[in-house]
Structure 1
Amino acid sequence: MTTFDHPALLYRDSAEYLAGTLPFIEAGLAAGEPVLVAVPRGNLALIEDGLGEQAAMVTLRDMGQAGRNPGRILPGVLLAFAAAHSGRPVRVIGEPIWAGRSALEYPACVQHEALINTAFADRDGAILCPYDVARLAPDVVDDAYRTHPVVETATGRADSAHYGDPVVFAARFNQPLSDPPPGAVTMVVDGGSLAAVRQLVGARGAAAGLDSLRIADFTVAVNELATNSVKHGGGAGTLAVWLEGGALVAQVSDSGHIANPMSGRVPPPLDSANGGRGLVLVNQLCDLVRVHTTPDGTTIRVLLYL
């Protein structure tokens, strides 16, 4: 029988943050468990200082980099750490939501927090998720109660009365995306246009001033989306590319439907004949991935911040 613990830690200041995180880490180290701390840089420094010499025994990641795209956190951070320590319970502090996350990023953040429960349902371990209730909006804190079975505060630990089915709750954030702006460059995507897709994305990336490596990453990501439209989205789709809010944006729409809520978040088995690795790769390469999918069609928007 597996045991997975996924509490939210509600804190108001540095003292409460350390009071909730350091004992969690120290208990893991005392039990011989691998420990990962993936939190924003300022809080990472707090924990590292608080641990002292024990910090060398912990894997430390800046969530502002590793989790810039919320869709990257499950496959690239949490599941990757669990896979590196296969057969052992892992202990993780993950802080994917902080003051400053944009409204466009937030739905992907909540989906991530909810779907942790599904991804780790058959694994041993614990993932503690801190929430800065002094700086986050009240509705963000309310969502923490809905995505975490247990909530910890300075006064204790209790089951969340608002926690529900994680897949059902994540689906509430499967929200429609706005249409591309009038100035967007658009084209039809089909089996004969993939080279033109790559050429367009590369040209727009160069015009935006991206370096060659980031242009290559974004081109691969958009090419994956376009290829998925051809293979799984009815044979064709529509691509739009534009600049907005300091980001290069690409959006692909087609008539396909992504029925599996874990697509892009959990790598498929190596022997899988159904593919599914393309969206995982897209999440790794982009700074944000938003998906809106229904039986009538799917739109995926990807961003690379300039």
Structure 2
Amino acid sequence: MITFDHPALFYRDVEQYLSGTTDFVRSAVAAGDAVLVAVPGGNLTLLRDALSDLGRQVTFADMAVAGRNPGRIIPGVLLSFVAAHPGRRVSIIGEPVWPGRSVVEYPACVAHEALINKAFIGRNAVVLCPYDAKRLRRERLDDALRTHPFMIVDEVRRESRWYADPLVTAALCAGPLPPAPASAPVAAYAGPTDLSRVRRFVTGCAEAGGLCPERAADLVLAVNELAVNTIQHTGGGGAVTVWSSDEYVYAQVDDRGDLADPLAGQIPPHPDREDGRGLILVNDLCDLVRVHTRREGTTIRLHMAR
């Protein structure tokens, strides 16, 4: 029988963390599951050491690197692992929320946790998500209860009565973004002949904002992908705004399109299809992607760490 399970594991110290996660991994390995552990930094070292006797039976990934952009976790980490193990049940430890997650990244983490419940429908998998109940703020733990059907506290598993519709939760995380600075430069575009000018504009702004040429090129490619989508799918043009802060260089694409599918950019298309990869590519290239859709159109804000 195909089932999907998505519990949140609340832990308060290293002992609880190791007990809940290593028992999960060892049981999964014994059952013949393909096992992935995707957790950040220090926790990754803890689990590598604690599970070293299992060798290649467990795959490890640093969530602080692979999942720096929460929008790339489902397609690039979780579903990529599923695709690499066809026909096998998959057991994953995924820790996308940790105390070091910034305020600007966090809404995308909540949306990610909610959308897992839709992206994995019909998949024979379990994704266990640890949450540091001692160091995370109460609101972040409350969000975990809304995005996970089950919770595990003090080794006791029970249903979460706060679990909410994943699409509603994801939509709440995609609210209006803070406005771009009024002084930020803007480049409008209307058709394919404008794209080279837009690319030059973004290149100049990105390098002036402190990005190295390689990172600037990634931002240019991401913006170009979004501008092409505007031209192909909205029947109109759009505008690109670029500015910087101490932490990020931002590029914002505004158009009149309606990006209504909350799973857009989360489910890789069939290998035979040539379309449907735009937002996946954008998430791969950028450190954070935020999307806000409203009646008048869509805003997609790209963040590149300086």
The CA deviation at 1:183 is: 3.1
TM-score (norm 1): 0.96
**CA shift digits 1:158-207 (9 cap, x unpaired):** 11111122112211112101221133111112213110111112122322
Residue 291 of structure 1 aligns with an amino acid whose one-letter code is: V
Q: Which amino acid aligns with 1:15?
A: E
8 A Cα contact 2:187 2:201, kept in partner: no
What secondary structure does 2:82 align onto? helix
Q: Distance in 2 between matches of 1:203 and 1:148?
A: 43
Aligned pair 1:194/2:217, yes or no?
Answer: no
- Give the superposition deviation at 1:34: 1.1
How far apart in 2 are the matches of 1:55 and 1:165? Answer: 38
Partner of residue 185, structure 2: 185
In the alignment, the residues of structure 2 paired with residue 83 and residue 102 of structure 1 have an alpha-carbon distance, to the nearest angstrom, of 30
Residue 114 of structure 2 is aligned to residue 114 of structure 1:
yes
Which amino acid in the other structure matches residue 64 of structure 2? Answer: G
* Letter of the structure 2 residue corresponding to residue 213 of structure 1: E
Tell me which residue corresponds to 1:302: 302
Q: How far apart, CA to CA, are the structure 1 residues paired with 2:258 and 2:276?
A: 13
One-letter identity of the residue aligned with 1:297: G
For 2:87 and 2:214, locate their aligned partners in 1 and report how far apart those are by CA, in whole Å: 36
- Partner Cα separation in structure 1 for residue 77 and residue 190 of structure 2: 34
Deviations 1:264-287 (A, max 9, x none): 1111223447x3211110011100
Does structure 2 retain, via aligned residues, the 8 Å contact 1:38–1:62?
Answer: yes
Partner of 1:268: 269
Aligned to 1:161: 161
Is the counterpart of residue 235 in structure 1 residue 236 in structure 2?
Answer: yes
Q: Which runs of 5+ in 2 are unaligned?
A: none
- Paired residue secondary structure (1:10): strand
Q: What is the RMSD of the two structures over their aligned residues, measured on CA atoms?
A: 1.4
Shift of 1:240: 0.2
Quote the Cα distance in structure 1 between the aligned partners of 2:252 and 2:116: 26
Counterpart of 1:215 in 2: which secondary structure?
helix
Q: Secondary structure at the match of 2:134?
A: coil
Shift of 1:7: 0.5
Other-structure match for 1:90:
90
The question of whether the paired residues in 2 share the 8 Å contact of 1:234 and 1:254 is answered with no
For residues 12 and 21 of structure 1, what CA distance do their matches in structure 2 show? 13
Matches within 5 A, 1:53-68: 53-68=53-68
Kindly report which structure 2 residues correspond to 1:125-136, keeping only aligned pairs within 5 A, or say none.
125-136=125-136
Q: Percent identity?
A: 52
1:132-143 equivalence runs, <5 A:
132-143=132-143
- Find the residue that maps to 2:243 and give its secondary structure: strand
**Equivalent position of 2:80 in the other structure:** 80
Q: CA deviation at 1:262?
A: 0.4
**1:23 counterpart = 2:52:** no
Sort the Cα spacing of 1:51 and 1:270 in 2 relative to 1 into closer, same or farther, 3 A.
closer
CA distance in 1, matches of 2:37, 2:221: 30
The separation in 2 between residues aligned to 1:69 and 1:234, in whole angstroms, is 30
Q: Which amino acid aligns with 2:233?
A: H
2: CA distance, partners of 1:102 / 1:185: 26
Corresponding position of 1:44: 44
Which blocks of at least 5 consecutive residues in structure 1 are unaligned? none
Tell me if the contact between 1:48 and 1:55 (Cα under 8 Å) persists in the aligned partners.
no
- The one-letter amino acid of 1:123's match is R
1:292 aligns with 2:292: yes
- Report the CA distance shift for 1:244/1:65 in structure 2 as closer, same or farther (over 3 A): same
